[in-house]
């Protein structure tokens, strides 16, 4: 049977490996990774203190080890909150940890009681793992990659179960009081399971970070960074899928091609920085007007496209005209921008490319007629400026 001494050595090595792996993810700037890395580093320090202190540690060694362990658990929970976009620190939680530390000092220096210390630390360790598991479970996506979230939850709750069992056994006198390094079957089981659960949590955290990086890359490949609209390739792919799904139900589908009027002159007169802000502003105005099912994409430069779901050509033209008015009535940094657009409906036996070509031809008609207006195709229906 392994001795607790050997198991603690393995635990230290596994924590240091977790630090190395999580530390390599620092440059990804994923929230929470730095706190996770610091937490595992402190777990390694705590385990080292336990080994160095031996079976009969001094009071100061117990106090310092307890403090480092509490901070490690706190950072683990805070890092998980931060990863999921939550405020990491909680005043009540920090105060509770401070109270636990004060109690540990009391049961170490004033009224020494190893059972009380074991129960308090076990409760803190269990709390940290339960909190991490709940956070991972609560943020598990309904669709997409779930494995990493469930893996972290399972590893965290396994560790919590170990510490709860230790606290219950000590409270009811099922095991004699002992230090971590005493060679009892109970200690070997506890430390051995700790070796399994703690690194498993770090592996799950790495998987969570990997999933987030993949989502970032997917977003960079599909979302225009300046405007937040779909990039051309992503827009075409999603629009074609939408075309297949919606037309099969018999719902009408329409498309509008929009262009910012005289955008080049805005860049030439006010500079590209103002031009970029104009693009961002106009996109935000459009997003604010769109319905939840509609698709909005940037085809390139100052040209955009919208697919209107469950909207016939006339309805799509009215929706596009509302967008035109909203843009006209909200200048950006004193610069007044206007839109021209061409609109057409996609027939059941049509293709997206052909409908876009007709809408694009209608857009050029709108430009030729003076800009700041909506034209439908194939029959030309003009909506003049009010």
pLDDT digits (tens, 9 = 90+) for 71-121: 999 999 999 999 999 999 999 999 999 999 999 999 999 999 988 998 999
Q: Average pLDDT, stretch 293-305?
A: 94
Model confidence at 220, pLDDT cuts 50, 70, 90, reads confident
Q: Rounded to an integer, what distance in angstroms lies between the CA atom of residue 49 and that of residue 71?
A: 14
pLDDT given for residue 184 in this prediction: 67
Report how far Cα 377 is from the mean position of its chain's Cα atoms: 42
Q: What are the residue ranges of helices labelled H in the chain?
A: 4-23, 33-53, 59-83, 91-105, 114-138, 147-171, 185-222, 232-249, 263-270, 272-289, 313-328, 352-368
Residue 3 has pLDDT above 70, yes or no: no
pLDDT given for residue 187 in this prediction: 66
Enclosing H/E stretch for 172: none
Model confidence at 143, pLDDT cuts 50, 70, 90, reads confident
pLDDT given for residue 183 in this prediction: 58
pLDDT given for residue 385 in this prediction: 42
Q: Regarding predicted confidence, which is higher, 379 or 44?
A: 44
Q: Regarding predicted confidence, which is higher, 333 or 379?
A: 333
Query: What pLDDT digit, counting tens, does each position of 40-57 carry?
Result: 999 999 988 888 877 778
Model confidence at 4, pLDDT cuts 50, 70, 90, reads low
pTM reported for the whole predicted model: 0.74
pLDDT given for residue 126 in this prediction: 94
Q: Average pLDDT, stretch 250-269?
A: 91
Q: Average pLDDT, stretch 49-69?
A: 88
Model confidence at 382, pLDDT cuts 50, 70, 90, reads very low
pLDDT given for residue 331 in this prediction: 87
Residue 384 has pLDDT above 60, yes or no: no
Q: Regarding predicted confidence, which is higher, 176 or 244?
A: 244
Closest C-alpha to 128, from 101, 167, 83, 97: 97
Beta-strand pair 381-383/303-309: unpaired
pLDDT given for residue 103 in this prediction: 97
Q: Regarding predicted confidence, which is higher, 332 or 37?
A: 37
Residues 320, 258 contacting (CB under 8 angstroms): yes
Residue 6 has pLDDT above 80, yes or no: no
The CA R_g of the chain, rounded to the nearest whole Å, is 31
Q: Rounded to an integer, what distance in angstroms lies between the CA atom of residue 332 and that of residue 282?
A: 8
Q: Rounded to an integer, what distance in angstroms lies between the CA atom of residue 201 and that of residue 125?
A: 13
Residue 338 has pLDDT above 80, yes or no: yes
Q: Rounded to an integer, what distance in angstroms lies between the CA atom of residue 282 and that of residue 371?
A: 16
Q: Regarding predicted confidence, which is higher, 257 or 218?
A: 257
Q: Average pLDDT, stretch 371-385?
A: 69
pLDDT given for residue 240 in this prediction: 92
pLDDT given for residue 369 in this prediction: 93
């Amino acid at each position: 049977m392994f001795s607790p001494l050997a198991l603690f050595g393995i635990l230290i090595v596994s924590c240091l490996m977790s630090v190395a792996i999580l530390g390599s993810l620092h440059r990804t700037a994923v929230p929470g990774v730095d706190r996770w890395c610091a937490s595992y580093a402190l777990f390694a320090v705590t385990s080292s203190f336990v080994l160095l202190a031996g079976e009969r540690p001094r009071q100061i060694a117990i106090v310092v080890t307890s403090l480092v362990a509490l901070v490690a658990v706190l950072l683990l929970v805070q890092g998980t909150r931060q990863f999921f976009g939550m405020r990491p620190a909680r005043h009540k939680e920090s105060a509770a940890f401070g109270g636990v530390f004060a109690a540990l000092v009391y049961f170490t220096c004033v009224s020494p009681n190893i059972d009380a210390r074991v129960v308090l630390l076990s409760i803190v360790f269990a709390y940290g793992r339960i909190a991490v598991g709940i956070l991972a479970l609560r943020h598990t996506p309904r669709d997409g990659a779930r494995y990493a979230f469930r893996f972290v939850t399972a590893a965290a709750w396994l560790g919590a179960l170990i510490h709860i069992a230790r606290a219950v056994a000590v409270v009811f006198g099922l095991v004699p009081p002992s230090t971590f390094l005493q060679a009892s079957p109970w200690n070997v089981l506890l430390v051995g399971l700790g070796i399994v659960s703690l690194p498993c949590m770090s592996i799950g955290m790495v998987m969570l970070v990997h999933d987030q990086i993949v989502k970032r890359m997917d977003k960079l490949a599909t979302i225009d960074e300046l405007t937040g609209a779909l990039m051309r390739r992503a827009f075409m792919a999603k629009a074609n899928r939408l075309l297949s799904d919606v037309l099969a139900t018999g719902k009408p589908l329409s498309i509008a091609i929009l262009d910012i009027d005289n955008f080049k002159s805005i860049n030439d007169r006010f500079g590209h920085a103002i031009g970029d802000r104009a693009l961002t502003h106009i996109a935000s105005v459009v997003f604010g007007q769109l319905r939840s099912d509609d698709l909005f994409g940037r085809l390139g430069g100052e040209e955009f496209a919208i697919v209107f779901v469950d909207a016939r050509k006339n309805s799509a033209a009215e929706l596009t005209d509302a967008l035109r008015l909203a843009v006209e009535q909200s200048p950006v940094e004193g610069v007044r921008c206007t839109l021209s657009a061409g609109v057409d409906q996609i027939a059941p036996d049509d293709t997206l490319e052909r409908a876009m070509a007709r809408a694009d031809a209608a857009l050029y008609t709108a430009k030729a007629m003076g800009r700041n207006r909506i034209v439908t195709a194939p029959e030309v229906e003009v909506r003049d400026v009010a």
